[in-house]
Amino acid sequence: MDLTQTPSETIVGGQTGFAIPLIVAVTGHRDLLTEELPVIRKRVNTFLCDLLDEYPDRGVSVMSALAEGADMLVAEQAVQLGIPLIVPLPMPKELYLKDFETEGLREKFEFLLSKAAEVYELPTTPGNTLDSIEQYGDGRDLQYAQLGVFLCAHCHILLALWDGKYNNKLGGTGQVVRFHHDDVMPGYTQESSGSGFILADDESDLVYHIVCSRNRKDGQPAGTFEAGDFWWFSLDKDEPRSKKLPESHRRVFQYTDEFSADAQAYTDRIRNESYALLSSEDRMILPPGLSDIDQIFCAADWLAIHFQKRVVMALRLTHLLAVLMGLMYIVYSDMSEQREYLYAFLGFFVLATVIHMLGKRLSWHRKYLDYRTLAEGLRVQLYWAAAGVHSGNKSKFTHDTFLQTQDPDLGWIRNVMRVAGTECDASDYQAQPGLDFTLRDWLGDRESGQLGYFCRKGAERSMRFQRTERMSQITLWVGVAAIALFVVMSAELGALVRDPVIIMMGIMLLFVGVRQSYSHSVADAELIKQYEFMSRIFGNARDRIDATNDNDEIRRILHVLGDAALGEHAQWILMNRERSLDQGEVFQMG
């Protein structure tokens, strides 16, 4: 539950507009040594200021549960620096206040809470009740474990004020750091929860470790660690601890920066021209967190269409220029040997090269693919959240497994999704209006929703592909007819018509070759198969949902449908990367 007032303009991660803030989540010890506080504060302040300097357009937000010690220390620094504060509470506020033993701590908690841009109360974990978490014990520990998992799943950097010791304290700092790296938290996660994904490269493993001591017996830092020291700590096999941000994570942040910059550059057009998944009526009855996802979806979808138009324009121009190059060559070689035709050939080639290099330099194709994939991931994320569909694993959210086994650079897409879905993931929405909305707007029927879309687009692509095939067949039969004509004609008559027919055949073959090249570049044949597959799975889902009145069964079907859609989008981006403008296919064909 968001305890703050929602402004008229959607706020994502404490930031307004379309920028995707860099989220820093805090984990750390409650019993810090008083004498170490100045150096720790200095380290935290330097760390946050460096991020603000590095990412001025995106901004930075701090996520802290405001527990005594490390959480409060970092939150205070964030407030002083004007950094938006996001506060996920592990339980209802009135129960959480029991963690603060003195009036001074409660007052500090209330003050920092009042400064928060967003506040969420996490739901009770399965098997827990409000009574079971009221007192200290296993039930309350499960709430802290859930909090640690939530922080890891919705941040880009985990800031750990930590002594470096791993222990078995459920939900403790050591376990949270371990979960951030290995997706394992004994006592909370299933043993197989990270199976298949902990072996893949993961952009969500980044920890900034500030070493501290604890105010207890044997509270000194582990091993050779010294209080006040700091590292970037990741699963990098060559350099797990580094004083500099690892390059792989820097690339992921760079792509997120590019998306934020593009979204801000076209803010007015996105706001006026984009197609939202939520209507004004939907916003009034559905959870407010859906608006965060919808806002980012609008930006991603509009930008994907924008860069798709540029890619299509570049492909059409370069293929048109390839036709003109071919015509100039045919005219020069078979009709007139004037050098002007060669100059024209070279001019068209240079122009095509300029277009090709411009598209490559400005990353039109990569951005189109990435932004379209992000938009489709956000689409599934929004409709799952509206319908109350969960992953089935209490430590996994929609974004966690999307594209996980693909190119590590695509991790920036998950980085955006983990911010967009924060508020929805903090709730346990299961109301009927959200389920009805998802069935109507996402699933739809043969005329509406995604089912109608895939049926319609599949038919359009099939017609276009059939036209290309017919052009090829016509050219083939014209060629056969021309050869047959040469066989039956006399030598004298054949000599008169031979050159014009050969030139005509060359021109026809040129047009067919370029048309087939364009069809390959836009993946017509593959997209027909994809649209047919997607229309089948959406159609099957429609049929099965129509046959049941059990909401749990409907949510199970929607979960399977979303998994299939996310998997298909992952395959789509990999397939289309093979048809990038970077490949220079037109020039190879020429």
Q: What is the DSSP string of 492-560?
A: HHHHHHHHHHHHHHHHHHHHHHHHHHHHHHTTHHHHHHHHHHHHHHHHHHHHHHHT---HHHHHHHHHH
Q: Confidence band (pLDDT; 50, 70, 90) for 5?
A: very low
Residue 2 lies in a domain: no
Beta bridge partners of 232: 208, 242
Over pLDDT 90: what percentage of the chain?
Answer: 44
Q: Per residue in 12-38, pLDDT tens?
A: 555 556 788 999 999 999 999 999 999
- Of 186-190, 193-197, 283-287, 342-346, which one has max mean pLDDT? 283-287
Give the model's pLDDT for residue 10: 45
Q: Mean pLDDT, to the nearest integer, of 536-563? A: 93
Lowest mean pLDDT among 73-87, 137-151, 180-194, 448-462: 180-194
Specify the pTM: 0.86
Residue 30 and residue 162 in one domain: yes
Give the model's pLDDT for residue 4: 38
Q: Mean pLDDT, to the nearest integer, of 50-57? A: 90
Q: Mean pLDDT, to the nearest integer, of 1-21? A: 52
**How far is 296 from 262, CA to CA, in rounded Å?**
12
Mean pLDDT, all residues of the chain: 83
Give the model's pLDDT for residue 8: 34
Burial classification of residue 445, based on how many CB atoms lie within 10 Å of its CB (0-12 exposed, 13-18 middle, 19 or more buried): middle
Residue 21 structure tokens: 């803030």
Biggest distance spanned by C-alpha atoms of the chain: 112
Q: Per residue in 65-87, pLDDT tens?
A: 999 999 999 999 999 999 999 99
Q: Mean pLDDT, to the nearest integer, of 124-138? A: 87
Give the model's pLDDT for residue 580: 56
Residue 462 lies in a domain: yes
Q: Where are the alpha helices (DSSP H) in 274-288?
A: 280-285
Q: Confidence band (pLDDT; 50, 70, 90) for 492?
A: low
Q: Per residue in 444-453, pLDDT tens?
A: 888 888 888 8
From the DSSP assignment, how many helices (H) and strands (E) are in the chain? 20, 10
Residue 336 and residue 304 in one domain: yes
Q: Rounded to whole angstroms, what are the CA distances from 520 to 353, 458, 528?
A: 19, 16, 12
Burial classification of residue 81, based on how many CB atoms lie within 10 Å of its CB (0-12 exposed, 13-18 middle, 19 or more buried): middle
Over pLDDT 70: what percentage of the chain?
Answer: 81
Residue 132 and residue 92 in one domain: yes
Residue 397 and residue 272 in one domain: yes
Give the model's pLDDT for residue 193: 46
Lowest mean pLDDT among 38-42, 158-162, 215-219, 334-338: 334-338
Residue 173 and residue 296 in one domain: no
**How far is 338 from 344, CA to CA, in rounded Å?**
11
| Domain encompassing residue 122 | 11-249
Residue 527 lies in a domain: yes
Q: Confidence band (pLDDT; 50, 70, 90) for 514?
A: low
Q: Confidence band (pLDDT; 50, 70, 90) for 507?
A: low
Residue 534 and residue 563 in one domain: no
Cβ atoms of 230 and 180 closer than 8 Å: no
Lowest mean pLDDT among 221-235, 288-302, 474-488: 474-488
> Is the pLDDT at 2 greater than 50, yes or no?
no
> Is the pLDDT at 342 greater than 90, yes or no?
no
Residue 18 and residue 96 in one domain: yes
Residue 27 and residue 147 in one domain: yes
Residue 92 and residue 226 in one domain: yes
Q: Mean pLDDT, to the nearest integer, of 322-333? A: 77
**How far is 411 from 398, CA to CA, in rounded Å?**
14
Q: Among 215, 249, 283, which residue terminates a domain?
A: 249
Q: Edge to edge, what strands does the sheet with 118-121 contain?
A: 118-121, 85-89, 60-63, 22-28, 157-162, 207-211, 230-233, 241-242
Residue 323 and residue 283 in one domain: yes
Q: What is the CA radius of gyration of the chain?
A: 29
CB neighbours of residue 496 within 10 Å = 11
Q: Among 249, 281, 298, which residue terminates a domain?
A: 249
Q: Confidence band (pLDDT; 50, 70, 90) for 191?
A: low
Q: Per residue in 289-322, pLDDT tens?
A: 999 999 999 999 999 999 989 988 888 888 788 7
Name, in order, each residue with C-beta under 8 angstroms of 449's C-beta and a sequence gap of 6 or more. 440, 441, 442, 443, 538
More confident: 246 or 525: 246
How many structural domains does the chain have?
A: 3
Burial classification of residue 504, based on how many CB atoms lie within 10 Å of its CB (0-12 exposed, 13-18 middle, 19 or more buried): middle
Dihedral class, residue 60 (left if φ above 0, else alpha if ψ from -120 to 50, else beta): beta
- What contacts 24+ positions apart, CB below 8 Å, involve 224-229? 225/163, 225/164, 227/33, 227/36, 227/39, 227/40, 228/36, 228/39, 228/40, 228/43
Q: Among 221, 249, 277, which residue terminates a domain?
A: 249
> Is the pLDDT at 583 greater than 70, yes or no?
no
- What contacts 24+ positions apart, CB below 8 Å, involve 46-54? 47/159, 47/208, 47/210, 47/230, 48/24, 48/77, 48/78, 48/81, 48/83, 49/81, 51/22, 51/24, 51/157, 52/81, 52/83
Give the model's pLDDT for residue 192: 47
Task: Give the residue carrying structure tokens 């830092």.
Answer: 221
More confident: 156 or 457: 156
Q: Mean pLDDT, to the nearest integer, of 235-253? A: 89
Q: Where are the alpha helices (DSSP H) in 335-363?
A: 339-361
Residue 112 and residue 122 in one domain: yes
Residue 413 and residue 488 in one domain: no
Give the model's pLDDT for residue 259: 93
